[in-house]
Amino acid sequence: MQKRKIIRRILDNITEKLLTISGAVTGIAILFITFFLFTEGAALFQSPQVEHGYALYVNSSNPVNNLQPEETKAIFDAEITNWNTLGGKNSEIKIFRIDDAFQIYPESELGENYELLPAKLGEIISKEENILAFLPTQYAPQGAAVKALAGKNIQPKEYFLGKEWLPTATPVPLFGVLPLVLGTLLVSIVALLIALPLGLGVAIYLSEMASDKQRRLLKPVIELLAGIPSVVYGFFGLVVLVPIVQKTLNLPVGETAFTGSLLLAIMALPTIISVAEDALRNTPRTMREASLALGATQWQTIYRVVIPYAKSGISAAVVLGIGRAIGETMAVMMVTGNAAVMPHSLMESVRTIPATIAAELGEAPAGGAHYQALFLLGCILFVFTMIISISAEIISKKKNYKTH
Amino acid sequence: MNKKLSQQIAFIIFKLFGILVVAILISILGFIIVNGISVINWKFLTAFPNEGMTTGGIFPAIVGTLYLIIGSLLFAFPLGVMSAIYTHEYAGKGWIVKTIRMMTNNLASIPSIVFGLFGMALFVNKLNFGDSIIAGSLTLGLLALPVIIRTTEEALKAVPNTYREASLALGATKLQTIKKVVIPAAMPNIITGLILSIGRVSGETAPILFTVAAYLLPQLPTGIFDQAMALPYHLYVLATSGTDLEASRPMAYGTALVLIMIVLTMNLLASFMRRKLEKNRSK
């Protein structure tokens, strides 16, 4: 008897400890998410600018010591063709790739495992003063007249302010997130501009005007809208919305930022409606009655008394709506066309941050610069939504201070 | 007169907005139901995809989604319920509860693709699970946690304090009170939360993209370290990257309808239960 009691007490103790630990589970989860996202993401700035495993070499008489990633890209795109643009001599840049070596020397001269290749490469570079050689570091050229260009790591400035997102370009991939960030903001903000008046209108209708019967019809409809999976919205957008947008606006393609905004607006509606409606309903009855007693009409009461009173709740609805829109992945990916360029107009294809992650992570080798760049995108998204969710909380708290 | 006119205009506009929202929902649901209903039959639900996913069925995707629902909730349900019990029954009203609640809200607001990234970094790569049902389940479980915690807290809140006091007055310990009185009373509401999270888990695509989902599998998964197909990802594949998009359209409509039916059944069931409980309480 005594023994059983002790065992039970121990068991109870363990259970209570377990409860305490699991109380912190969401905190631990967030900590873990933050940790993994940021360690993977921050590693990007320890990655070299030039494609992994490669380096750039020049003749040692060349006064140029390093190149910016944009410059390297421009050279290999044949936009820069002369060394003097880069502060060197006035002579044409001769690009040399590893494949070119096989044109010059037959394979038999390079040794069985290409062990003679570095020396041959050194020879080529020494002979040609204006060469820019892009070679694997495994076969780093050997010779007195060879100079490796100083390999810098990817800089935060290039990442956060870069205007080009070309993650698979050689020899230098470009990871500029500006077009993605702007694409995300454009699509989300336009979505909100569409959804906000609509959502607020429905919220006002629901809380102030609708009869019980109408409310009982509308509320479940809104809940159902919230329940539809985003991939189904995306599918609907793809087969219905995209052709409609293309036809009515007479565009070459229907997959535009505007299509994405339209779809996101529909998806953000339930959030906006239910949060705003809660806020409106929380207006004390006495305030409405006071206004009505003063001779105001119902509509005057709504926009002079109820809406100002519910302002913080409505702001929270706006903020949460943005949060939902910014993080939405599948639906946006399916209807915006995903061109990773700086957005110029609403009627062009854009690419958002979540869509970029979803589309490219599968092809990015784990641990590479591309992979890390995508994780850093995840960090940006994470920070965005954290700021949004915390500010929504602060906004909706503000009201409590005022009224109590 | 002017006042009345502006009121009438405003009310008409808002009413139109309301009608518009209903129309949007009806058009989305109607579109998928009308196009999908003719595809769904016994064979569609029980056969494997065939001929580049243009014929056959979606059986492996249904089974995969089922595995993911079970796997994620096996992990998230006990943890979420325990977490809610701690915050509601044990922790005081101080900063701890406030912090935990804020964390739960924040976890709920993290975009699902970020969960996918995290799942890939931790479960797939670091813990070396590979693309597997267990990695996908754990990732989806994290996503379901805030839903379960919130609904359980609501459920516990709805248990009158007199129940607890009566039990304690009879000499029961706090844990006994929770086990024998509070949880049974809160159970129906907790189950509602469970149903809601099934709806949430079965519809998510982004978190499973890199943790479990397979494009096409010739057989069903045999263990928790196998990849699996899943309905939402299968719909995405059918809609965007099948071998013959036009020919696989009917399959896509059918998949979308099955997916919507699962999710909406869960949501309707949950709201039905909630309404019934509210009625019982008011009696």
| Percentage of chain A exceeding pLDDT 90 | 24
Alpha helices by DSSP H, listed for A128-211, are 156-161, 178-204
Position B28 in a domain: no
The pLDDT of residue A86 is 77
Residues 99-158 on B with a CB inside 8 Å of A are 99-100, 102-118, 120-122, 125-126, 142, 145-146, 149
Q: Specify which of A37-51, A55-69, A388-402 reaches the highest per-range mean pLDDT.
A: A37-51
**Chain A residues within 8 A of B267 when measuring between CB atoms:** 223-224, 227
Torsion angle, alpha carbons of B97, B102, B108, B109, to 10: 180
| Percentage of chain B exceeding pLDDT 90 | 43
Our measurement of the distance from residue A329's CA atom to the centroid of its chain's CA atoms, rounded to an integer in Å, reads 9
Q: Six-digit token pair at A159?
A: 């990442």
Least Cα distance to B212 among B241, B233, B198 occurs for: B233
- Residue-range domain boundaries for chain A: 2-46, 54-152, 178-403
**Domains identified in chain B, total number:** 1
CB pairs under 8 A between A and B: 248
**CA distance linking residue B221 with residue B65, whole number of Å:** 11
Position B36 in a domain: no
Position B102 in a domain: yes
Torsion angle, alpha carbons of B65, B69, B74, B75, to 10: 90
Q: What does the pLDDT average to over B22-37?
A: 91
Is A404 a residue whose pLDDT tops 50?
A: no
Position B11 in a domain: no
Superfamily of domain A178-403: MetI-like (1.10.3720.10)
Each residue's pLDDT tens digit, A119-148: 777 878 887 778 888 888 777 787 777 877
Each residue's pLDDT tens digit, A302-357: 888 998 888 888 888 888 888 888 989 999 999 988 888 888 888 888 999 999 99
Q: Confidence class of residue A401 from pLDDT cuts 50, 70 and 90?
A: very low
**Chain A residues within 8 A of B18 when measuring between CB atoms:** 201-202, 205-206, 210, 214, 218
Q: Which of A223-237, A275-289, B20-34, B83-97 has the lowest mean pLDDT?
A: B83-97
Is A44 a residue whose pLDDT tops 70?
A: yes
Distance in Å, alpha carbon of B8 to nearest chain A alpha carbon: 8
Least Cα distance to B103 among B146, B152, B139 occurs for: B146
**Chain A residues within 8 A of B79 when measuring between CB atoms:** 22, 25
Query: Which CATH number fits the domain A54-152, given the four candidates 3.40.190.10, 3.30.420.10, 1.10.8.60, 3.30.470.20?
Result: 3.40.190.10
Q: Six-digit token pair at B18?
A: 């309301």
Q: Confidence class of residue B120 from pLDDT cuts 50, 70 and 90?
A: very high
Q: Contact B236/A361, CB-based, under 8 Å?
A: no
User: What is the SS3 assignment for B178?
Assistant: helix
**CA distance linking residue A227 with residue A224, whole number of Å:** 5
**CA distance linking residue A160 with residue A163, whole number of Å:** 9
Each residue's pLDDT tens digit, A64-98: 777 777 788 788 777 787 878 777 778 888 888 87
Position B7 in a domain: no
Each residue's pLDDT tens digit, B194-237: 988 998 899 999 999 999 888 888 888 888 888 889 999 999 99
Q: Contact B3/A300, CB-based, under 8 Å?
A: yes
Asked if the C-beta of A221 comes within 8 angstroms of chain B's C-beta atoms, the answer is yes
The pLDDT of residue B283 is 56
Residues 6+ apart with CB under 8 A from A195: A264, A265, A266, A268, A269, A272, A321
CA angle B168, B173, B177 (to 5 degrees): 65
Q: Confidence class of residue B74 from pLDDT cuts 50, 70 and 90?
A: very high
Distance in Å, alpha carbon of B47 to nearest chain A alpha carbon: 22
- Say which residue, A260 or B219, is predicted with more confidence: A260
**Chain A residues within 8 A of B232 when measuring between CB atoms:** 229, 231, 330
Is B282 a residue whose pLDDT tops 70?
A: no
Position B16 in a domain: no
Each residue's pLDDT tens digit, B159-198: 999 999 999 999 888 888 998 999 999 988 898 889 889 9
Each residue's pLDDT tens digit, A104-117: 777 777 777 777 77
The pLDDT of residue A403 is 47
Q: What does the pLDDT average to over A275-296?
A: 89
**Chain B residues within 8 A of A218 when measuring between CB atoms:** 18, 21-22
Our measurement of the distance from residue A376's CA atom to the centroid of its chain's CA atoms, rounded to an integer in Å, reads 9
- Say which residue, A399 or B110, is predicted with more confidence: B110
Q: Do the strands A131-136 and A54-59 form a parallel or antiparallel pair, or are they unpaired?
A: antiparallel
**CA distance linking residue B208 with residue B227, whole number of Å:** 10
Least Cα distance to B201 among B259, B250, B154 occurs for: B259
Position B180 in a domain: yes
Tell me the ipTM for this assembly: 0.91
- Say which residue, B282 or A330, is predicted with more confidence: A330
Distance in Å, alpha carbon of B219 to nearest chain A alpha carbon: 22
CATH at residue B218: 1.10.3720.10
The pLDDT of residue A119 is 79
Q: What does the pLDDT average to over A42-62?
A: 82
Asked if the C-beta of B21 comes within 8 angstroms of chain A's C-beta atoms, the answer is yes
Position B25 in a domain: no
